[in-house]
Structure 1
Amino acid sequence: METSNDLPQVLLLKPPIDMLVFGQDRFPSDKFSFLKAWESPLPLDQFLQAHAQSVQAILISGGIPVTAEILGLLPALKMLMTTGAGLNHIHMPECRRRGIAVANAGSVPSEDVADLAVGLLIDVLRKVSASDRYVRGGLWTTNGDFTLGSKVGGKRVGIVGLGNIGSLVAKRLEAFGCRISYNSRKQKPSVSYPFYSNVHELAANSDVLIICCGLTDQTHHMIDKAVLSALGKEGVIVNIGRGDYY
């Protein structure tokens, strides 16, 4: 009978959210064992060196960075799985060089992320959270009525990155009567929305920018002062990705 020490080891750099919510005992397996880096008193590099020959897979949750340095300490690594859709936190060139298989969640969270984008936009325009704080702070009786919000319908919405999630966001906001335009790496012939090859031009023709693209060398700091100026003081930005776009 195999013990947990005999099973293939899957490295966890930090506890996945499911473990935090439901407890570690809810995830037993007779196929592999979890190697939990956060439980070790050793610094991470020493911990990885101690298990360098046994770690064959990594499970990543929450966009934890997997750098070339970390990969270099794991010569037996064959597979890397991230529970999110993005891969910008993983050093993909090193994975490709070594033939390490990389898998992500694909389109599984796309519908939920698109819903969140619309929810955030409604919250900002209608000032739901802001007015809630105003009332809870007792300011209604001393400062008078809270300022009115703005309707969603009719807004010019520019989507930066019309991929899977961006398309779902556009579909939802069309139902609100929003006018959709987009910026992407290239124009999509199957899409009827106006296309802007330049983010500054997109911002100048939008009331709202929704950032749906991944973080790459090309998108790093793409939302600069010129974009903010083109969008205007009354403009709204909704960022549903992880990354330093600003």
Structure 2
Amino acid sequence: MSIDTQITGDQILRVGPVNPAVAAILADEFQTAILPAADERDAWLAENGADIRVAVCSGKIGIDTELMKKLPNLEAIINFGVGYDATDVSQATERNIPLSNTPDVLTDCVADTALGLYLDTLRGLSSAERFVRAGTWASGQNFRLATRASGRKVGILGLGRIGQAIADRLEGFGCEIHYHSRNQKDGVAYQYHGSAAELAEATEVLIVAAAGGPESAGLVNAEVIKAVGPNGFIINIARGSVIDEPALVKALQEGHIAGAGLDVFAKEPQVPAELLELENVVLLPHLGSGTVETRADMTELTINNLRSYLKDRTLVTPIS
């Protein structure tokens, strides 16, 4: 389709809830269409699906297999978020539909969250805060001893932008960094391990920072969790799908690992009830990049991707 063919607002589809600032711009500047709720969706798509040329979505919702099939003239997908595993990337590739995301702008805040989870999980800070609030300390009891956070051997599973930012922070705590990624990184001094299990075996804390999607689903399986060991910890700021959640729950219940810090889960916002009962687990509501500053940067980059595509059919941050 020619670049000279203008894309109008009714040919741009907002899919699912998106960031409020993004939603406001889509409505005010572009007057985009909005995909209706499930009970009205099929009828709407039958009438309007062929008109849609650009879809805007969040990383959580994405453009799944069935929806993409019902958008036969879709040209581009604009994704709010660094993760895009909710989108059928294989179908998009087959149909030559480019996809953008929002990398880099959220790296620091996600890495900060990982560091916070690391400290909280090893030192038991949230648990200690509940101990004080419950009046247990005032009653004369002492809080349990925790685990030293500095100077530990830490394994980073997925040494991408976020993984490297986490490593940078942990170096300030005197930690010895190890890693596993799909490929060994050139110019990286950290010790490389050939598998997730080998990484877990060699370290005391396993921080999961791998990209989501089918390729990493279940990467941290029962074997890897066992390799973490009874004195080891798991921190996950990646995707819930990367960890075999039932195996993790079982390991925590039976004391096969010392604890876990989790910002993501397999079926968000549902969290396994068993985890809610454990004091050696820190649970966060997927807030990794959730700061005012990062959301503003993500909004700007999302809208810039859309404007760029409408102008000359290029994306600022395409998925390669």
What's the offset of the Cα at 1:206?
0.9
Moved more, 197-206 or 10-19: 10-19
Give yes or no for the alignment of 1:240 onto 2:215.
no
Report which of the two has the higher share of helix.
2
Indicate the residue corresponding to 1:15 in structure 2: 17
**Structure 1, residues 79-132: CA drift from partner, whole Å, max 9, x if none?**
101111122221111111212121110222111111111111111112111111
1:88 is aligned to 85
Matched positions, count: 236
Q: Which moved more, 1:205-214 or 1:225-234?
A: 225-234
Give the share of equivalent positions with the same residue, in percent.
Answer: 32
Residue among 211, 216, 223 paired with 1:214: 211
Amino acid corresponding to residue 53 of structure 2 in structure 1 = Q
Structure 2 SS opposite 1:81: strand
Question: What residue in structure 1 maps to residue 28 of structure 2?
Answer: 29
Alpha carbons of structure 1 residues 89 and 41: separation in structure 2 relative to 1, 3 Å: closer
* Paired residues of 1:15 and 1:36 also in contact (CA < 8 A): no
Report the Cα offset of residue 143 of structure 1. Answer: 6.8
The CA RMSD over aligned residues, in Å, is 2.1
Is 2:202 the partner of 1:226?
no
Q: Deviations over 1:168-220 (max 9, x none)?
A: 11111011100000011121231111110021111111111111111243422
SS of 2:108's equivalent? Answer: helix
Confirm or deny: 8 A CA contact 1:12 1:60 kept in the other structure.
yes
Distance in 2 between the 1:217 and 1:62 partners?
15
TM-score normalised according to structure 2 size? 0.68
Q: Equivalent of 1:148, from 145, 148, 157?
A: 145
Task: Give the unaligned 5+ runs of structure 2.
Answer: 1-7, 245-320
- The structure with higher relative contact order (CA 8 Å, sep 6+) is 2
Q: Deviation of residue 25 (structure 1)?
A: 5.1
Which residue identity does 1:29 align to in structure 2? D
SS in 2 for 1:189: coil
Do 1:157 and 1:178's aligned partners in 2 also have CA atoms closer than 8 Å? yes
Supply the AA of the counterpart residue of 1:12: R
Q: Which residue among 55, 68, 78 is the counterpart of 1:71?
A: 68
SS in 1 for 2:46: helix
Q: Which residue of 2 aligns with 1:3?
A: none
Q: Contact (CA 8 Å) 2:158, 2:179: kept in 1 or not?
A: yes
Q: What TM-score, normalized to structure 1?
A: 0.87
For 2:239 and 2:88, the matched residues in 1 are separated by 16
d(CA) in 1 for partners of 2:196, 2:140: 39
Would the alpha carbon gap of residues 90 and 26 (structure 1) be closer, same or farther in structure 2, given more than 3 Å must change?
Answer: closer
Q: Does 1:60 align with 2:62?
A: no
1:195 aligns with 2:197: no
Residue number in structure 1 paired with 2:288: none
